[in-house]
Structure 1
Amino acid sequence: MAKKQEQSNGQNESESYSDWMSRLPAHKQTSTLYDLVIPGSHDSMSYDLDVNSSIVEPDWVKKYSYLPCVRAITRKWARTQESTMGQQLDAGARYFDLRIARKENDPDPTRLYFYHGLLTCTDVETVLRSINHWAEQHPKEIIILALSHFKGFGSDEKKLHQHLVSFIKNLFSTKLVPKPMGYEDAPTLQKCWHQKQNVIVSYDYAEATKQPEIWYKIDYSYGDTMDPGKVEEKLTMDLKVAPHSYFYVCGLNLTLPEDPGAIKYILRWKNMASLVRRSLPELLKWIKQPDVSTKLNIVASDLVTEDNVIPTIVRLNTD
């Protein structure tokens, strides 16, 4: 299955990136993870959006959830990934942008889903179990899970966070990399390999990060525009002040306006993927510029398994 996936993306078996971290040069194995250039996916679970769910966002479209055509359009424009989580991992993605929500009136009080415009078909616990299985099969590949947003938690917020964090700790167990006390304690590949730890969980909820296994929120810089040139301008400015003592995400993703201004793109283009494919070559050319590439840490992209996205990012570690 993995071999077929690689060939379908124009890669042969020798070019597989399923275990790229384990093949990095010796000096990169002792560098902090903050000093590596790591490919990641933006809205990682958006391939799994449920066209039958209510619209979660944007707010101005929510009232049209009862219309199947509006949900179908929302799915086309919220779907920023086309490959499954396993395929993204096999292709070499190591950072995952996971936005979580509770389904309104769900009979299971602790069941959660991912979302981007719509809720996903698959629940959070099922997906995390599949990631845990992959991590067991690839012990030298460090996976970074960034959990955020937590829509619809309401008055059950504390209870739901406690349940989710407990599930994460029990599931990943000794594979969890504890957050460092300071930069001098920052993890390296060799440290993680020695401790047999390869899962980092970043969590955007302050109470959860009091636990040693749960890392703080990771800053995510993005252009907030559909214009790739403006994305580059914004990211260039942000990289000038980016921290070097913690993870930092440079998001290459385009952003659809959250108001009726989005309609002009919807009328002109088939879906978000068509626009992303047009913009990716320019954005990948931009990250290879010396004054940019030397400042990068995590680089997140839409359609992360597209030809040349992950290879371009990974090669920045050795160029």
Structure 2
Amino acid sequence: FSLCPHGTFPLRPSAQHTPPHMARGWGALLVCALLWPWAAPQRTWMRDDSAAIGGLTLLQLTLPGSHNSGNGPSLGADQIWPDKDVWAEFQRHAARRGRAWVQRSAFDAAFLPWNVNQDAELAQQLEAGLRFFHLKLCNFNARGAAFLLQRVHHCHRGYTGPALLHLLSDVRQFLKTHPSELVVLGLNNFEGSFDTEAHKALARALVNFFAPPQGGPALITPQDLGTTPVRELLKADRR
């Protein structure tokens, strides 16, 4: 959301009389000027608040985050995950109500916007200060085939967002340019061919993706969560 009104206001109001709408406009601009330091994107809030949070562990912090983080404007119907697709269920209900004439394109046009939970993509969410991201994964890799991060997507109700490779690239780039920040990813659902081997392959892919040769920070270990203060994690570049 934005605290500042959209549109423009005259810079030189009449000396004799200021119309009510202009007075409201100047008042809104004054409020924006006063509140802007708090409304501005908090891309470095962990650095800025290091004195307060540096001695705390991650389990002692409440991180700002988003639910269904991949449900941004790019969520689409170009690649549907069939196991969660609600189109067939809708068709059954539509047939009972005599509306079987509804086409898939019309259904998606009406239903897809209800699944867009975020008005910004993950990269912009990072810039806005979010540090926890919830991703529901569906695996388009064939069982037994090479595990490719570009074949794993965030998905919701059958619709798919960016590939995990793209989302992780956004996180890695942000961490490279903001060495005082750290990020937590919450992965769940694991639809599709996520058997034991695929889970192991995903874990290896995540470790390799953020390994130092690629220029990214190291992963935080489970032991770190409740024992290692944030300042020590940052010093060790485990972010």
Question: Which category of TM-score, normalised to the shorter sequence, fits these structures?
Answer: 0.5 to 0.7
CA contact (8 A) 1:99 1:149 kept: yes
CA contact (8 A) 1:6 1:16 kept: no
Cα drift, residue 104 of structure 1: 8.6
Could you say which residue in structure 1 is the equivalent of 2:80? 54
Secondary structure of 1:46's aligned partner: coil
CA distance in 2, matches of 1:22, 1:113: 31
CA contact (8 A) 2:153 2:162 kept: yes
CA contact (8 A) 1:38 1:95 kept: yes
Cα drift, residue 84 of structure 1: 1.0
Matched, 1:124 2:164: yes
- Aligned residue pair count: 189
CA contact (8 A) 1:55 1:61 kept: no
Distance 1:16 1:63, change over 3 A: closer
CA distance in 1, matches of 2:158, 2:86: 14
Distance 1:25 1:178, change over 3 A: closer
Distance 1:192 1:25, change over 3 A: closer
Distance 1:72 1:89, change over 3 A: same
Distance 1:62 1:20, change over 3 A: farther
Distance 1:84 1:181, change over 3 A: closer
Distance 1:158 1:57, change over 3 A: closer
User: Hey, which bits of structure 1, 4+ residues long, moved more than 3 A?
Assistant: 5-16, 55-66, 103-106
- For residues 144-178 of structure 1, the C-alpha deviation after alignment (integer angstroms, 9 at most, x for no partner) is 0011111112xx62232222211110111252111
Secondary structure of 2:173's aligned partner: helix
Distance 1:104 1:162, change over 3 A: closer
Gaps of 5+ in 1: 199-319
Cα drift, residue 139 of structure 1: 1.5
- For residues 110-152 of structure 1, the C-alpha deviation after alignment (integer angstroms, 9 at most, x for no partner) is 3211111233252111221221111111121110001111111
CA distance in 2, matches of 1:103, 1:8: 44
What does residue range 131-170 of structure 1 map to in structure 2 within 5 Å?
Answer: 131-153=171-193, 157-170=195-208
Distance 1:49 1:8, change over 3 A: farther
Q: Report the RMSD for the aligned CA atoms in angstroms.
A: 3.2
Distance 1:182 1:51, change over 3 A: closer
CA distance in 1, matches of 2:181, 2:225: 23
Of the two, which has the highest radius of gyration?
2
Cα drift, residue 27 of structure 1: 3.9
Cα drift, residue 187 of structure 1: 2.8
- For residues 212-255 of structure 1, the C-alpha deviation after alignment (integer angstroms, 9 at most, x for no partner) is xxxxxxxxxxxxxxxxxxxxxxxxxxxxxxxxxxxxxxxxxxxx
Cα drift, residue 64 of structure 1: 5.0
CA distance in 1, matches of 2:53, 2:64: 15
Could you say which residue in structure 1 is the equivalent of 2:108? 71
Question: Percent of counterpart pairs with the same letter?
Answer: 21
CA distance in 2, matches of 1:182, 1:109: 31
CA distance in 2, matches of 1:69, 1:75: 10
Could you say which residue in structure 2 is the equivalent of 1:304? none
Secondary structure of 1:38's aligned partner: coil
CA contact (8 A) 1:56 1:117 kept: no
> Normalization by structure 1: what TM-score?
0.52
